[in-house]
Structure 1
Amino acid sequence: MKDIYLAGGCFWGVQEYFSRIEGVVYTETGYANGKTKEPDYRSVCTGTTGHAETVFVRYDEEKVGLKYLLEKFFRIIDPTLMNRQGNDIGTQYRTGIYYVDEEDAIIAKVAMDEVQKKYKIPLATELMPLSYYYPAEDYHQDYLKKNPFGYCHINLNA
């Protein structure tokens, strides 16, 4: 099994989207790469913690590769937007790929270089090692499964 952490705006839709991909065995919403320990939604929304709403994705690399997962990721985000996706605005809604394995950084860099060719402006998506991750509150986990008509800024069928 391999792990990758993806920030793509509001984490509800990102989690639901990746949970539907064959080979993804586990997803979890959380907060990543901020400067505070054990953040909660209220503190993250102040914009002072530095955390991004992030989805932890565990996948079976025998069934699905990181390259494919990143292709799917770039279908659901606008990688040129800084600190926003859809109607969500704030530093917690920035986009990012946070890795725990250096080999994944190389794969992600290649994927980002390919995506960059489609845009005239630089990508705003971060690529960096995961420095910190903390799971979101229970009510954020599988939110769109529990609330199928809840807000989602992405096309879940992309």
Structure 2
Amino acid sequence: MPRAKDVANYLLSLSIPNTPRAITPLKLQKLVYYSQGWHMALNNGEPLFNDEILAWEHGPVVSELYYDYKHYGYLTITPKNFNNMTKKNRKIFSKKQLEILKAVWDSYGEYDGKYLEELTHQEEPWLTTHRNEIIKKQKIKLYFNRLISKEL
């Protein structure tokens, strides 16, 4: 199973500096959260990664990613090359997972981190979780399942 760090690395490979599609630490956190939510909704509740997402003041956060990228502050994170193979020559993401990640990027990638923060602040998983607590995967799954139901 991929890790949140793998999701972040893939998303960073799509970043385009000096455009609305550049990724800051705040934006990265929200994109990783939306990747988890949409993956769960489209895969019978199966998480994309097992890392916990916390309800921090500025929205959903994977703490490991926060500490990896906090030195960028509000600046754009340097894009990365992404290789979908592990050291053991196995694929990190399936074709379907990559399609979902690309769809998340296509849907949310043009927005800045503050806009995505405000969006998450209007959504049930963050709203109904105490600050600094884990946002339960079940809560994320139910919320994104409801979003899909509204679209159909």
* Bin of the TM-score, shorter chain as denominator length: 0.3 to 0.5
Give the alignment's TM-score, normalised by structure 1: 0.32
More strand by share: 1
More helix by share: 2
Give the alignment's TM-score, normalised by structure 2: 0.33
